[in-house]
């Protein structure tokens, strides 16, 4: 069993919104700054059609007031606590439409930690018009050693050839116009995204590394996917893309950017929710290939069919007969991955009705059994000793009888913490160190009161 390493980056995009009709929106994304901090960009937009138009020095303008507070959950201190006045000149009232917005961006270096953010936007010329949000900002630095994916910036457009280098939205040769509302569809049929990949130069082998893009619907079904191989070992790479959502039905969706390494069984993902409003598109109940986002972000996501079979064979010691029959009937690698995810999720959360089992602890015992109990004919984890060790762990005591008179070698394992104390007796019946279980006092295990006859050679 290859060692599985798993990294996960969740970028929260669900904001707690106060009740108001003022259509102020805010979003954010995190990018690498140094080994202990991230650079977090906040994107905001004011609805100019809902703001009071005033005459200032013979010029028409609207003015927003943006308040941002970022409080450290651990210390209670404010990392940011500030108001910004945001004026915008308007040529004439006819230039303002229902979709006109006053948009901006501001960024901060934020150290590792958990924060609570409060954001409020209001019309400075009519303060009763305001909207506020409260949301967590949990930052974990992207590091310098492992491949990683930044947060995702949703955008309404991304330009390079005609990019305005003086724009506040200009970065890395691109002009990225944010979409703080995260709403697409009717009138905005194309979703743009911006992300960054880190530490590709630290990967020992790029041949198994892919950059993946997925979209999941509200039921967790994968309705869009795209991938490409990583070729150049660079410390940072910008990834931008376009997704046509004109045929998506109205609802909530999740965009996922992923770096996967099939050689190391390593995956890291970043995700962001967005919303689609397409009233003209009807749900035709089209069946898409199902791939649960939770499975994608699990340690089972990149196992081959053969690796799934091997893993379930090692897991079968704690599987029910029904689960064994179910697995035998699965013939696709996607189905096997989903089964293993569900199987181990239930064991770890104790939802299966069986004893709670840690996947990590269990697989550690499998690896130990594979080395400790192997013999000339069988892999260590497939032996009777291996099975008992994997299921019940290290014995409290072992009595060994390698050369007792005319008897074949045998061992007695004591487990003092199971059912008030149980024993397992193994015998080497062939002389090739393949100890088989002769008898046990554990309920459900083999019981043979005449076990001593089996270790006594016939006269």
Same domain, 328 and 399: no
Final residue belonging to a domain, choices 289, 317, 337: 289
Domain count within the chain: 3
155 within 8 A of 42, measured Cβ to Cβ: no
Asked if residue 358 is part of any domain, the answer here is no
Q: Of the candidates 382, 367, 378, which has an alpha carbon nearest to the alpha carbon of residue 430?
A: 378
Q: Is the pLDDT of residue 71 over 50?
A: yes
Residue 266 sits in the same domain as residue 323: no
CB atoms within 10 A of CB 452: 14
Indicate whether 331 and 279 sit together in one domain: no
Between CA 94 and CA 64 the distance in angstroms is 19
| Residue 299 falls inside a structural domain | no
* pLDDT tens per residue, range 167-184: 999 999 999 999 999 999
Whether 275 and 340 share a structural domain = no
Prediction pTM value:
0.65
Last-in-domain residue among 289, 313, 330:
289
**Is a pLDDT exceeding 60 seen at residue 185?**
yes
The string of pLDDT tens digits covering residues 326-345 is 999 998 888 898 899 889 98
Is residue 181 domain-shared with residue 328, that is, in the same domain? no
Same domain, 336 and 395: no
**Tokens 């450290």, located at residue:** 72
Cβ neighbours for 114, distance < 8 A, ≥ 6 positions apart: 72, 73, 74, 136, 137, 138, 139
**315 and 435 share a domain?**
no
Give the pLDDT mean for 68-79: 95
Q: Is residue 313 part of a domain?
A: yes
Domain, as residue range, for 98: 5-289
Q: Kindly report the average pLDDT of the chain as a whole number.
A: 88
296 assigned to some structural domain = no
Question: Would you say residue 413 lies in a domain?
Answer: yes
The average pLDDT across 81-98 equals 83
228 and 164 belong to one structural domain: yes
Of the ranges 83-97, 100-114, 340-354, 370-384, which one carries the lowest mean pLDDT score?
Answer: 340-354
Residue 28 pairs in a beta bridge with: 42
- Residue 280 and residue 207 share a domain: yes
96 has a pLDDT exceeding 90:
no
- Taking the C-alpha atoms of residue 379 and residue 369, their distance in angstroms, rounded to an integer, is 9
Q: Are residues 134 and 78 in the same domain?
A: yes
> Element (H or E) spanning 372, and its range?
helix 359-372
Do 418 and 318 fall within a single domain?
Answer: no
Do 309 and 388 reside in the same domain of the chain?
A: no
User: What is the pLDDT at residue 10?
Assistant: 43
Assigned domain for 247 exists: yes
């Amino acid at each position: 069993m290859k060692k599985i390493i798993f990294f996960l980056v969740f970028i929260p995009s669900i904001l707690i919104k106060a009740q108001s009709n003022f259509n102020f929106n805010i979003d954010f994304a995190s990018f690498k700054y140094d080994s202990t901090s991230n650079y977090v960009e906040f994107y905001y937009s004011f609805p100019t059609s809902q703001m009071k138009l005033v005459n200032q020095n013979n010029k028409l303008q609207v003015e927003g007031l943006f308040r941002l507070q970022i409080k450290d959950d651990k210390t209670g201190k404010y990392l940011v606590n500030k108001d910004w006045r945001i004026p915008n000149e308007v040529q004439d009232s006819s230039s303002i439409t229902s979709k006109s917005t006053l948009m901006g961006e501001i960024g901060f270096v934020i150290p590792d930690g958990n924060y609570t953010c409060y954001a409020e936007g209001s019309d400075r010329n009519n303060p009763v018009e305001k909207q506020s949000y409260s949301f967590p900002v949990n930052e974990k630095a992207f590091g310098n050693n492992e491949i990683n994916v930044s947060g995702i910036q949703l955008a309404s457009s991304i330009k390079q050839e005609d990019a305005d280098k003086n724009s506040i939205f200009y970065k890395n040769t691109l002009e990225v116009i944010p979409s703080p509302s995260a709403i697409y569809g009717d009138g905005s049929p194309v979703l743009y995204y911006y992300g960054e990949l880190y530490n590709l130069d630290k990967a020992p082998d790029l041949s198994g590394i892919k950059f993946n893009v997925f979209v999941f619907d509200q039921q967790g079904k994968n309705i869009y996917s795209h991938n490409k191989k990583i070729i150049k070992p660079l410390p940072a790479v910008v990834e931008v893309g376009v997704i046509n959502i004109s045929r998506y039905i109205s609802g909530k969706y999740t965009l996922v950017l992923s770096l996967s390494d099939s050689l190391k069984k390593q995956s890291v993902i970043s995700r962001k929710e967005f919303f689609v409003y397409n009233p003209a598109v009807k749900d035709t109940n089209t069946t898409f290939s199902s791939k649960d986002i939770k499975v994608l972000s699990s340690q089972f996501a990149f196992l081959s069919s053969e690796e799934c079979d091997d893993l379930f064979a090692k897991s079968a010691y704690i599987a029910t007969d029904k689960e064994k029959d179910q697995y035998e009937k699965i013939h696709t690698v996607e189905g096997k991955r989903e089964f293993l995810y569900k199987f181990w999720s239930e064991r770890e959360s104790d939802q299966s009705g069986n004893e709670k089992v840690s996947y990590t602890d269990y697989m550690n015992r499998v690896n130990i059994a594979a080395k400790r109990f192997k013999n000339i004919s069988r892999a260590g984890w497939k032996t009777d000793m291996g099975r008992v060790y994997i299921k019940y762990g290290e014995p409290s005591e072992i009595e060994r009888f390698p050369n007792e008179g005319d008897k074949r070698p045998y061992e007695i394992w004591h487990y003092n913490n199971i059912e008030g104390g149980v024993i397992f007796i193994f015998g080497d019946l062939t002389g090739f160190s393949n100890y088989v279980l002769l008898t046990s006092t554990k309920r459900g295990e083999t019981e043979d009161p005449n076990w001593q006859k089996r270790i006594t050679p016939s006269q």
